[in-house]
Amino acid sequence: IDKMEKTIDFFEKTIDKMEKTIDFFEKTIDKMEKTIDKLGKSIDFLSFSTGFLTCSTDFRLRMIHNIDQKVLLRRKVCCLPQFSDCDRALGFGSEIADSASEGITSFQLPTPTSNF
């Protein structure tokens, strides 16, 4: 009986140690999950930041492109025979460029008698 009690005590202690080990692993897994969540949030933030920078760069490039297009349109309109002086042509070129930058592609050239 004495040996059986010692054996039972030994198994109880072993089971206690196993339970503590399991608790330790569960806590470790919880910590790992929290770390993974933090990494996920960091990756999301980096992704958002990259997207924002890309969008910002794209916007700047579009603005530069629009400015270039306005200059080209002004130069082209200035050379049209409908305009007697370049100032009037440049003013009309601005209207065309503004319309083009807003997505309006059709416009009508004024006749020489049109009022500005």
Residue 15 pLDDT:
92
Quote the CA–CA distance of 14 and 35 in Å, as a whole number.
31
Q: By the 8 A CB rule, do 90 and 80 touch?
A: no
Domain boundaries, the chain: 2-101
Give CA separation, 107 vs 80, 85, 97, 99, in Å: 15, 20, 10, 8
Higher pLDDT: 102 or 19? It is: 19
Quote the CA–CA distance of 105 and 67 in Å, as a whole number.
16
Chain segment 9-54, per-residue pLDDT in tens: 999 999 999 999 999 999 999 899 988 888 888 877 777 777 677 7
- The whole-number average pLDDT for the span 81-107 is 49
Higher pLDDT: 17 or 89? It is: 17
